[in-house]
């Protein structure tokens, strides 16, 4: 894979063999890059993430990917309502480096006291920053970001993307977005999916 953290080669996939969503699709992504996937509903954006995370199997082609973590569209559905944020981070990060934890929290402008609370005590923007913190603490090579700003107002959305961009020295980001302006602003490359 050389410098690639994601390499998709000649991917073909469809839920029905006679109706493909992808045919001979290829994509590569390196650390330090943001690649945005844009397209109308039903064009296969979320399906691509399911293929990358191995929840779906391609009909043909190969997907080679290094360590992944994910940030989802709705931060409230990505945390269990009954447990504190910090406990849910501990569930996925085996050895928490506290210096790193405090550093990321500060960079994300997250008050440490908030992380001892349950998800519904936080605003949508705070919770999405907590989900970025959790994703970064997992030390991924690639972050899959599925519409991570669509549940946020425009100012918070912009701030959230600015925060993610701060960490491009550590990761690459594959971003699904409906927001063409956002994609144009932050991406090294934009891939537009069309219905086959």
pLDDT digits (tens, 9 = 90+) for 17-69: 788 899 999 999 999 999 999 988 878 888 999 999 999 999 999 999 999 99
pLDDT over threshold 60, residue 9: yes
Range of the domain at 105: 4-193
Task: Tell whether the model's pLDDT for residue 108 goes beyond 80.
Answer: yes
End-to-end CA distance of the chain: 29
- Summarised one tens digit per residue, pLDDT across range 151-194 is 777 787 788 788 889 889 889 999 998 888 888 999 999 999 87
* C-alpha span between 178 and 160 (Å, rounded): 16
Give yes or no for residue 111 having a pLDDT over 70: yes
Average pLDDT, the chain: 89
- What is the number of domains present in the chain? 1
Phi-psi region of 147 (alpha: psi -120 to 50; beta: other; left: phi over 0): left
The whole-number pLDDT of residue 53 equals 94
What's the pTM? 0.89
CATH of the domain at 78: 3.40.50.300
Cβ(12)–Cβ(23) under 8 Å? yes
Q: Is the pLDDT of residue 2 over 70?
A: no
Q: Which residue has the higher pLDDT, 182 or 1?
A: 182
What confidence category does residue 196 fall into, taking pLDDT thresholds of 50, 70 and 90?
Answer: low
Per-residue tokens: 36: 């945005």
């Amino acid at each position: 894979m050389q410098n690639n953290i994601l390499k998709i080669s000649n991917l073909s996939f469809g839920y029905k063999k006679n109706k493909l969503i992808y045919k001979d699709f290829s994509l590569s992504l390196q650390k330090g890059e943001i690649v945005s996937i844009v397209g109308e509903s039903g064009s296969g954006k979320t399906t691509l993430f399911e293929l990358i995370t191995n929840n779906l199997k391609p009909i043909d082609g190969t997907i080679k990917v290094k360590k992944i973590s994910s940030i989802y569209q709705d931060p409230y559905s990505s945390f269990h309502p009954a447990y504190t944020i910090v406990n849910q981070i501990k569930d996925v990060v085996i050895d928490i480096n506290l210096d790193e934890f405090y550093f990321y929290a500060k960079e994300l402008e997250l008050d440490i006291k908030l992380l001892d609370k349950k998800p519904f005590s936080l605003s949508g923007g705070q919770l999405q920053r907590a989900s970025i913190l959790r994703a970064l603490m997992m030390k991924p090579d690639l972050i899959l970001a599925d519409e991570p700003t669509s549940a946020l107002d425009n100012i918070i959305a912009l701030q959230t993307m600015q925060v993610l961009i701060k960490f491009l020295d550590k990761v690459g980001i594959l971003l699904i977005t409906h927001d063409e302006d956002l994609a144009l602003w932050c991406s090294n490359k934009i891939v537009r999916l069309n219905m086959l």
